[in-house]
Each structure stands twice: as C-alpha cells, then as structure tokens.
Amino acid sequence: MKKILLLLIMSTLVLSAANKFLMPDVAFIPDVQVNSKMQIEAVVNIAEEIYLYDEQLKLEVKEGSGVSISNVARPKSVEHHGTMVFLDSPSFLVTLQKEPDITGTKKIEFSLSYQGCSEQGLCYEPFTKVYNFDIDTSKLSIASSSKPELKSLNLNKEEKSETDAIADTIKSGSVFVILLTFLGFGLLLALTPCVFPMIPIISGVIISQGDGITTKKAFMLSFIYVLAMAVAYTIAGVLAGLFGSNLQAALQTPWVIYSFSAVFVALALSMFGYYELKLPDAIVAKASASSHKSGYIGVAIMGFLSALIVGPCVAAPLAGALVYIGQTGDAVLGGMALFSMSIGMGVPLILVGVSAGKFMPKPGAWMTMVSAIFGVMMLGVAIWMLERVTDIYVTMALYSMLGISFSIYLGTFDKDSHIFKRSVAVIMFIYSVSLLIGVLGGSTSMSKPLSFLKPQAASSITQMKSKDTKFLRVTSVVELDELLNKHKGKKIMIDFYADWCSSCKELEEVTFADAKVANKMREFILIKADVTANKQEQKDLSKKYGVFGPPVLIFFDEKSNVLKSKSIVGFIEPEEFLTHLNKI
C-alpha cells in the first residue's frame, strides 16, 4: 500500500512539473499568408512567458521559382538575459521580387524558421514551417541586375570579433586613418600592466646618467629606448603574422628569463653605487664619433629586449594587425600599424624619461635616495620576471626580503627620521613581514598574504566559487580534439594560457575568481590550452585556432561550432566578461 501511495505522489509531482511547460504547438503558433499585393505576411504568435530568439528567425524562399525576397519589414528585438529576443508576437511583411523573364503565376516554397524558450527555463528545439503559395508575378517588381538576389534572409548581420573588426579596419581604411587609429590603441595599451614594468627601466636609465644630464639628452635617451621598443614589436609582429608564430614565447624560456633578471639586478647594484655600469671606452669610441652619444647603444639594446621580454602581452589591436598580415601578406601596412601602435605605447615612457631628466635633484642626499628607489624598482622588475619560471613561494619570499630591506633603509627603526618617511617605511615593513608569514603559512596571494589564518568554515563565496572553477588541461591538438569529441552537445570555453603570461594570471586571479563569473562558467566545459612550453605541439595548437599569443578565450556552441565573433583577446574585467558570457 505504501509503495502504491508513493508512486501516486511521484506521478502527481511529475505531472505538476510538466504542466508548467507548454507544448510547442501551443507555445508557438505561426500564421503565414499572402495579401493582395503579393506580399507575405508572417507572424509567430507566442504564449505568455515565451520568447523568441532574434538570431534564429529566418525567412526564406526556395531557389528555382524565379521569385526571391527583396525586403522585410520587421519589429525591433530587445535584450533579455544577455540575448536579443522578441518578448511579444513578432510580425513580418515580406516583399518579393522576380527575375526579368518571369511571367504569369508561379508556385513558391516559403519557409519560416524560429526557436524560443520559456521563462520557466525550458528551451524548445528549432522549428521550420514550410508553406506553398501561388504568386501572381505581374504584381512584383523586377529584381535589379546590379543588386544580388536575396535568396535567404537571416535577420541579423554577421557579427565579428574585436580582432577581426580591427583587421577589417586596416583593409578598408586609409593609411593616415590606420596609423592614427593604432597610435590611439597604443596610448590606451600604455595604461595596461604590460607597459608598467618598463617605467622603472627608462627612469633608471635616465637617473644612472648622473646629475649632469640635460632635458635634451633625457629626451633623446627616452626616444631611442621607445624607438628600439617599437622596432622590436614591429619586427616580431610582422614575422608572427607571416609565419603564424609567437616569437615572444620563444624568449620566455627559463634561461632567457634568468639572464635578463640578472641584467636588472646588475643595473640595480649600479644604482646602489657598488660600481658604474657603462660600455668600455674603447667600444664607445668606435661606435660613436662624439662622447655625448655615450650610452645610446646600450639604451637601444635595452629598449629592444624590453619590448620582447618584459611585456609579452597580446591585446586585440596587436592580434588584429597580426591577423591582417597573416590573411593578406601585406607586411608593409601591417608593420606600419604595429609601429604606430608601439610609438603610442611609448609616449608615456618618453614623458617619464624627460621628467626624470628635468627634475633631477642636485647632488647630495636626495640624489642618493632617488638612485636607491630606482634600484629597488629594478630589483622588483627582476623578481616580477622570475614569477614566470619560479614557484610563487620563492617570488613572495624575494618580494618580502626586498620590502623589509628597503623599509629598514628608509628608517623604520630610526627615531630621528622624518615622520612621513618613517610612516611609509613602517607600513612597507608590516606588509613585507606579512608576506613572509604568508609564505611560511602556505599562502599564495600577494594581496591577502594572511588569508590562510581565516577559518575554513568562514571562507567566502568567492573563494568557494573559485575552487569550483576547474579547467581540463591540454597541450596538443590531439588532446584537445579528444575533449571536444567527448563533450559534444555542450558549450565549451578554451583558455589559451602560459605561465609567463602576466595577463593570463590576471584573468585567473581577478576575472575567473569573481563569484558571479565563476557561477556562470559552470555552464561551460572549461579547457585550458597550456602553451607555456612553446614546443611544436603547442605551436600547432595555437596555429589551428589562429592564436598568436595568450591570453585568448575561444568559445564553442552546443553544435561544436567555433563562435569566432565571441573570441576574446587579452584581459577582460569581470563585469564585462559576465555580460559576454550571457550572450553565448
């Protein structure tokens, strides 16, 4: 008896749940007719709490009848749950046209395709209704020979990704507009973390010239540094576009990183006054006719290498130029665009360099302090580079040691020190000690080094969501194809990542760690394409999907189609990314 009662209760629950959803022929009632002017009047009547996807609505006339669609009058769709939809029953007025040699009455086959969802959470499968009409072609206008026949009408224009849109700008714009546009892109990119590490480099170069430097020489040194940086970006970009490779990745091998970090340590020690770092007089004499050009060659080399090693970030403008070069083979115009962008990125660096030269303090205690500050900044850049090839605990410990040492130098324990200077030193000391405690406690967060002290039961929603966001790691085309086949019928996001990519880490720590973003990402199969090693397998993986360098996010729909217009290149803020996910 209990079993029968339980079955009755379960049946009642199932039926009550099913009753929430309407059958397709009740949710959608299409009505298509031909009026006296031989126009097709189509309407899709939808029930309450039902909506239609704008992009799925298609009106088509089958080929072969000599009759086609010339125009469609349609209502506007609205944004709903991040997608353009029709919340009310949409109606369409389809105007037809005929070929010049068509006369009399013609039979046409007209199809109406649509798909919609219920507010209760059920999405219906796509539907296509076919209608046959007899059309009096004497009432139709003749199709213009200069206008291509519109055999099928998809109501949405084709979307393009930001990268493709930028590539099209190069194809269609004038040279002046292109260069000006990319100069603006460069100025915007100058505000990103990719360029920040170059600021202490150029500042340190100017400071290291001593108190005799003039504003003119400061400008020339800064300009040469930026020019060399622009040349490096241009050459690397053109080669990457032509050969589909990521030359920056080749310079992210451990031995290169260690070597370049050692260079910054050497520069820092020279700032501290341990020795004077300059080219031998014999080399300078041969390379330069006048002594006032001393150091220009070294600055140029530093600018060239900094562009490739210090800032290996890929953003949409850079990727757009690379796509253009790869598609057209026009390395000249593409290179000009990259050079213009690089100059834009370097404008703030020139301002910093000139300022350092103009406001150089007079010799004395202040000069010693300024040199020490930039020496510490150089050491910070060296540690920042080591993050790409060393364990996070090592870099946190190094940052801690640097902070503790510098805070003591500033006067943390000096009672006679200026109150403001000592306050800064004490705050820096406390934070640096916190970093050291965090390392010993197993923390991996630079912003919250003492988070390990928080009880597990009181962990935040954001932390929980971040832990739940798990990626399946692949390093080759074979591995990726296996996962794509395994998860057919599901939405998929591929994150092209590398350990040496600072923007990739920023995506993980800021965007993916956001509670709302992490929750939304659960709707996707998450795959991390790790291209850190930059071996042939990783190169083939990047080349297959047109990736010139990480970070790049690529999306697949439920039909395993690549949503090219939804691809993201570079870092994206959590709110913007959440809006983007809602549209997929």
In the Cβ-directed half-sphere of 69, how many Cα atoms lie within 13 Å? 23
pLDDT in tens, 136-183: 888 888 875 444 444 344 444 445 566 666 766 676 667 888 888 888
Categorize the per-residue pLDDT at 2 as very low, low, confident or very high, splitting at 50, 70 and 90: very low
Cα distances (Å, whole numbers) of residue 473 to 200, 225, 490, 495, 530: 36, 39, 17, 9, 7
pLDDT band, very low/low/confident/very high, at 471 (cuts 50, 70, 90): very high
- Dump pLDDT digits (tens) for 529-563: 998 887 888 888 888 887 877 889 999 988 888 88
Q: Evaluate if pTM is beyond 0.75.
A: no
Q: Which segments of 190-328 does DSSP mark as H helices, in order?
A: 198-207, 215-243, 247-250, 254-271, 281-287, 296-309, 316-328
Q: Which residue shows structure tokens 């076919």?
A: 130
- 175-222 pLDDT, tens digit per residue, is 888 888 888 888 887 776 667 777 777 777 776 665 566 778 888 888
Q: What are phi and psi of 193, to 5 degrees?
A: -60, -20
Rounded Cα gap, residues 268 and 447, in angstroms = 25
CA torsion, ordered 296, 236, 305, 504, to nearest 10 deg: 140
Predicted confidence (pLDDT) per residue in 357-395, tens digit: 555 555 555 567 777 887 888 888 888 878 777 888 888
**Quick one: pLDDT at residue 385?**
78
DSSP one-letter string for 437-479 = HHHHHT---SS-TTGGGS-GGG--HHHHHHHH---EEE-SHHH
Tokens of 184: 């603006």
Percent of the chain with pLDDT over 90: 19
- How far apart CA 574 and CA 568 sit, in angstroms, is 13
Q: Where are the alpha helices (H) located in 310-391, listed in sequence order?
A: 316-328, 331-358, 365-386
In 24-161, which residue ranges form alpha helices assigned H by DSSP? 24-27
What six digits make up the tokens of 451? 């988070």
What is the structure's pLDDT at 34?
92
Where does the pLDDT of residue 581 fall: very low under 50, low under 70, confident under 90, or very high at 90 and above? Answer: very high
